[in-house]
Structure 1
Amino acid sequence: MAIKLVQKLLDHSVIHHVCDEHKEFKDAKLFYRFRKDDGTFPLDSEVQVFTRGQRIYEKLMTTENYLMQTREEEGVKYQRAFVASEFVDWLIQEGEVALRSEGEQLCCRLLEHGIIQHVANKHRFVDGNLLYQFRMNFRRRRRLVELLNESVSLAPDSHESPFCLRKQNPDNPNTSFLSVLKRSVTTEELLAPGAPYTKKTLTIVGDAVGWGFVVRGNKPCHIQAVDPSGPAAIAGMKVRQFVVSVNGLNVLHVDYRTVSNLILTGQRTIVMEVMEEINF
């Protein structure tokens, strides 16, 4: 497993053999270095956009941040959203760009590379009154395998997740770490009069590792995994609960990627409404 991980570092040009003679990692007395340390890291256009987006995000978070607020567009409230024209103003003020046209062009590149997006994912970037959000929380701690492989799936024998779950607690057999739904449930079933489901409101305060749960599924999403020692479990979250809203925004009709994005781009404290089956 360790050798495979190091090989991925080689494949992604994070490390290299000092003489660049070996493209495959060998568990032998060979010397390797991080490309960042010796100045050979390949700064292609995608990496350049990513690093610039990270620098802009950090600058936003370390200055008096009046841009990212709870704002409303078309009757829907969005957390940590900014107005396009105000963001371009800020880029000029901070010396990131000299002209509005340069600012708009930069933002278009950030959007194209998945750094920012329109709050409802309906528009390209336009220097106007539309609302946008950062899709990435650059301050969230990520596991190395997550950065190297965004397609990592949460299989039953894998504990990797977007929310950095801790290891399973084998001493607590009453707490389910990972679960699958017994059957698919539609939004109509959840909301039907007399349906055997009850609604709960959970307030989860994330820690340095994450929030301690994994959401999966589509319209509605459900809780697939809960870290027994994490913040979500402390707040009362359980597997097989269905996600109704995140910070006041109804998410019954979106997929788990949208829900995950709302959490990752929001504040450390999240308020979630969930529905769970009533056990008669």
Structure 2
Amino acid sequence: MSTTTTLRVNTPPGFRVDAAALQPAALADLSVAEIERIVLPAGNQRCVVGDLFDVLRSDAAVGSEPAVDASRSGAALLIEGAGPWLDRVGAQLGEGHLVVHGSTGDYTGLRMTGGVLRIEGNAGHFTACEMRGGRLTVNGDSGDFAAGALTGDMEGMTGGTLTIHGNAGARLADRMRRGLVLVGGDAGDFAAARLVAGTVGIAGQLGSHYAYGMRRGTLLLARQPASVPPTFTAGGHGFDVFWALLARSLADEIAPFSQWRAARLPARLTGDLAVDGRGEILIVG
């Protein structure tokens, strides 16, 4: 029988804590006592899981919520009462299901390769940074560099699906190479900058310099932007089949992307011509 582990915050610390060790599959193989003794890095501080959390164990799903059903997604981990002091939640997650009731700090879902990670609140900077697979959902807002690359690295997100129901910060999907990113709210400056490939959808307003240095890939806009980058040009027609397949693939995602139909062909721009770009901006609004 699959196992669900619940970590309930009992004493919020006065410092930031690295939660990368809290992996659903790894914790499922440990006893409650062993989990309580796990050391969590915290800068110059030292703490163990038992200092911060009450540890609960169940062989059934937590409640009736499908999202934490361990029988459907392998081992499950539920973190209750988390705050922005908890960094690297789900970092390098490869399997299982991790749900956070609360907000998380920076590097949420860093380099995750599989599994499901859901944040009920907000997430910090570098959310889904260099993500390679799996599904990450943020029901609130995210900080800067979501789905982007770490400083000095050449590739951002290379696989998986990131959905942000709220707003995203600056540099969304910077250097992204593959995968799907959908934002239900606004995005900050330099959204989809230096995009190499993949699909980025933004439902709200855009900041300055979006699609800067875009080489390939697709930027979906649910509303007409205030201005069009001068290095993009009208992309013409002939992408009916592509649009039909793309619209169909978004049917199970967040609104408004799930509500689009192939019959409504968007306007198309191509660029960034300053870098001989072969990317495209599709404006549905």
Give the TM-score, by structure 1 length.
Answer: 0.26
Structure showing greater Rg: 1
Name the structure where helix makes up a greater proportion of residues: 1
Give the TM-score, by structure 2 length. Answer: 0.26
Structure 1 or 2: more strand by fraction:
2
Question: Relative contact order: is structure 1 or structure 2 higher (C-alpha 8 Å, sep ≥ 6)?
Answer: 1
